Amino acid sequence: MKILMVCLGNICRSPLAEGILQSKLPEGYTVDSAGTIDMHQGQAPDHRSIKVADQFGLDISKQQSRPFTAEDFDVYDRIYCMDRSNLEDVLKLARNEEDRRKVELILPDAEVPDPYWGEHADFEDVYKLLDDASKKIAAELLQS
């Protein structure tokens, strides 16, 4: 099972989501991340995301930002987006209904706010949201 986490630049939210969900799943599950823009391609996650992940015992420092592409639909079984804008951008690249069925918001009834312009506490809040969402996703995956 391959899972992709998507946010805008792939430097704040989706790297955290990748690290958190991967830590909750056994071998055989692969979690990656991407962004809907390529502005940060090849860069490590934002230093504040790295710091918050480290606070909770996760090392995401070796991840590298990359853009989401239509080919990702061929590689990943599930694609989780952080907010509606990310969802719309990913769905624009969907080639068919099968692609569209793979995509959903990571929080069914809410969005994960982008902490980029925020403070450390905003990154901690995002971590907690993603941790809760990842617990639910992992439980669902491990049940099926």
Residues ≥6 apart with Cβ < 8 Å to 3: 21, 29, 30, 31, 32, 76, 77, 78, 79, 80, 137
> What is the DSSP code (8-state) at residue 46?
P
95: annotated active-site residue:
no
Q: How many CB atoms lie within 10 A of CB 34?
A: 24
Is residue 7 part of the annotated active site? The answer reads: yes
Catalytic residue among 12, 13, 72, 81: 13
> What φ, ψ does residue 42 adopt, rounded to 5°?
85, -10
89 among known catalytic residues: no
DSSP per-residue string spanning 74-122: HH-SEEEESSHHHHHHHHHT--SHHHHHTEEESSTTS-----TTS-HHH
Active site (catalytic) residues: 7, 13, 114
